[in-house]
Structure 1
């Protein structure tokens, strides 16, 4: 494993695996070859399905073109199940859809657990449902795993060592191998590839699970480019100011995702509570320090503090209560097409609507475009 995964650049997070869906549009074999040769991508994980009705329209072409480029190809299903029986039904739907699209036997078929349904369940319920999904998916000849966010791992659901694909986007990427005991760490949702449009989710593989414990017979052709491109992707690094002061900032925020409320403006401060997505927070002051932008919430017995994003303020977890402009989704729209028309990235568009780019949108639905 060391030769396969650690030989390129030990000081930078690697772009070992990329995941794609209909939101990325049609992806050609040439694009996947470029990812492999110039960026060191080894594995591809393709969206298969969502819930019990949605089938990704690009699954078959992504599988075929990824295989033609010499990548290991896996799949994922965006889960909405709330019960064990629903998990089994979704697994059957995902397995049948994957088979029909050509996902090879022995590939990993992941359950992507980040939905509002899972957020409303107890850890024990999520564990039971995830176990049922993974057991059922193996009946189709696929290996199973769980994808979720770092804040949900071992909080909303149990993710044991030597399992799991964990998403966590640090503001200083280089120098630390996050989630090294799990199969994979998704460290960016905005990676750029030379001949592909838009931002991509990229992950570092910390085991051979997503490459079926094999070495690819097709090797990258430009190792110097891989080193340079991986370093470039790691460049989103915050450089702190010499000093910081609290400033008055009376605002009302609506949380896009769950955020930890702490006793002080530091990630080492004790946690008061985890505020769920949709919570309204009124603040009176803000500060830039420790790599984050913090705000202060007056409470009945003092103050609570939460990070709204990095100090550069380019990745906000929350949005202020300003007047928004909405777009009504039409038939054939996707996060990608709407984002492109409005000069946004898919990730930004989905995030400002409190969604992920894997969330399904429907004709007639209103989305915030600014």
Structure 2
């Protein structure tokens, strides 16, 4: 959820064509945007533009992080979103690793939200995607998240969990009719990802007409983030909303031309039946269907066509199979599969590490339980395969 913003003066209508960069999201709507200090000061006019021209209904503003950090723009974001007639919610970036720490952070977040003016009835979600939770068991994270959410409700706020698709029901339990899940696929193909959860964050590169920089944008699959408050939300330019949604949903994403097959010597055990194909494409002919429990030895891998593909040497040539969608690269493989790790060096970026390993950087970040805006540090180990 960390965003960087560079405000520029906008003139004319030329910028209307550059609304979104990123991906095809034919099922996705721009219902909710989240903001933090890294977006800088956001005016009422900017939020009004989001509402009138893009159909944004709700904004979720960063309130706090850990046990000491207060977002300096929380109060102005809350006030300006409300002035624009939109629903306002908040989120706390979690650093807790124990139940006691979760309660302390919830108390800090609740008090900070009250001071910043977050109205009673709003959602105050816990953003769980940090190294502190990555090293915990699912049971421990579930216990800590439950403690945070129970405590936050004492302040009159409704609770929820934000996390990545690769962490949901892996690093922590996210039940149906709960949760705000981030997953940035190559191609949605009409599929409404995470339709049984409250919200699906489908892009981190949204651009709005009078606001510069990349924004997280989510589709709401329930009224959870638009309940408990009064709102005058009514997009006044319905034609613009339709046009901007059409432009946002165009298939303008093109994988980097430099993405190539990389060496991989692995043995995977399948947890579901997978088609072995003559090529790395869902349109390639099927050689056979490998049953669940079968083991597959590979020598190459690539992110291509929305999937992570691996190559299996065979007596006659090769077979190709997907280990899962690019945003969740081991969905079809048992979690016990071994990984290849890369140790972050000084000066590295998500883009550089991804290019070096033949990956898409959003997929690389997602399979490590992070977003491309999460800060990485020298010495960290990242899963690259």
TM-score (norm 1): 0.69
| Distance in 2 (alpha carbons) for counterparts of 1:194 and 1:98 | 29
After superposition, the Cα gap between the structure-2 partners of 1:361 and 1:73, relative to the gap in structure 1 and judged at 3 Å, is farther
Pairwise mapping of residues 23-38 of structure 1 onto structure 2 (< 5 A)?
23-38=38-53
CA deviation vs aligned residue, 1:81-112 (integer Å, no higher than 9, x gap): 11111110010111111111111111100001
SS of corresponding position for 2:211: coil
Pairwise mapping of residues 8-157 of structure 1 onto structure 2 (< 5 A)?
12-157=27-172
Return the match for 1:294 from 309, 328, 346.
309
| Distance in 1 (alpha carbons) for counterparts of 2:70 and 2:312 | 43
After superposition, the Cα gap between the structure-2 partners of 1:231 and 1:174, relative to the gap in structure 1 and judged at 3 Å, is farther
Q: Is the 8 Å Cα contact of residues 122 and 228 (structure 2) preserved in structure 1?
A: no
2:231 alignment partner in structure 1: 216
Return the match for 2:200 from 159, 177, 185.
185
SS of corresponding position for 1:143: coil
Unmatched 5+ stretches in structure 1: 1-9, 241-246, 253-259, 273-282, 311-317, 328-346
- Stretch moving more, 211-220 or 100-109: 211-220
Task: State the aligned residue count.
Answer: 307
Q: CA deviation at 1:124?
A: 1.2
* RMSD of equivalent CA atoms: 4.2
Return the match for 1:165 from 169, 180, 194.
180
Pairwise mapping of residues 227-306 of structure 1 onto structure 2 (< 5 A)?
227-236=242-251, 249-250=262-263, 284-287=299-302, 289-292=304-307, 294-295=309-310
| Distance in 2 (alpha carbons) for counterparts of 1:98 and 1:112 | 15
| Distance in 2 (alpha carbons) for counterparts of 1:357 and 1:101 | 28
Q: Is the 8 Å Cα contact of residues 295 and 308 (structure 1) preserved in structure 2?
A: no
CA deviation vs aligned residue, 1:279-338 (integer Å, no higher than 9, x gap): xxxx8534565433535599xxx999767958xxxxxxx9997997729xxxxxxxxxxx
Unmatched 5+ stretches in structure 2: 1-24, 266-270, 283-288, 314-318, 328-338, 349-360, 381-385
Is 1:199 the counterpart of 2:220? The answer is no
| Distance in 1 (alpha carbons) for counterparts of 2:240 and 2:151 | 41
| Distance in 1 (alpha carbons) for counterparts of 2:154 and 2:89 | 16
CA deviation vs aligned residue, 1:182-226 (integer Å, no higher than 9, x gap): 111111111111111111100111111111156732410111111
TM-score (norm 2): 0.67
